[in-house]
Amino acid sequence: MSHKKAGGSSRNLKDSNPQYLGVKLSDGQKAQPGSIIIRQKGLKTIAGENVKTGKDYTLYSSVDGVVKFSEKRKLAFNGKVKRHKVANVVISK
């Protein structure tokens, strides 16, 4: 019996690293362009000023600045008011 993994024919022996979700930059921390603010599944927190959303809903900064979290009130289709968390990057001077 062989005690080695298959040489080159096997395709399912690779394993990727997990996606560690959560807030990566807190309120008041400095952000550079491209730095990840939040990794999330779905839009739990929406992108605000100077923040962009990636295809996996990751929020990242588009400018140099300071991270600020706020809340936005939106009217839903059924007439109720929904509160959304918003991530902003304020340009520091």
Q: Which residue has the higher pLDDT, 80 or 4?
A: 80
Do the Cβ atoms of 63 and 89 come closer than 8 Å? Answer: yes
Give the Cα separation of 65 and 4 in Å (integer): 52
Q: What is the pLDDT of residue 92?
A: 77
User: pLDDT digit string (tens) for 51-63?
Assistant: 999 999 999 999 9
CA distance 43 to 67: 18
pLDDT digits (tens, 9 = 90+) for 24-82: 999 999 999 999 999 999 999 999 999 999 999 999 999 999 999 999 999 999 999 99
Q: Using alpha carbons, select from 57, 73, 64, 68 the residue that is nearest to residue 21.
A: 57
pLDDT at 6: 59
Helix (H, G, I), strand (E, B) or coil at 68: strand
The percentage of the chain sitting over the pLDDT mark of 70, rounded to a whole number, equals: 88
Is the pLDDT confidence value at 21 over 90?
Answer: yes
Domains, the chain, with CATH or none: 22-90 (2.40.50.100)
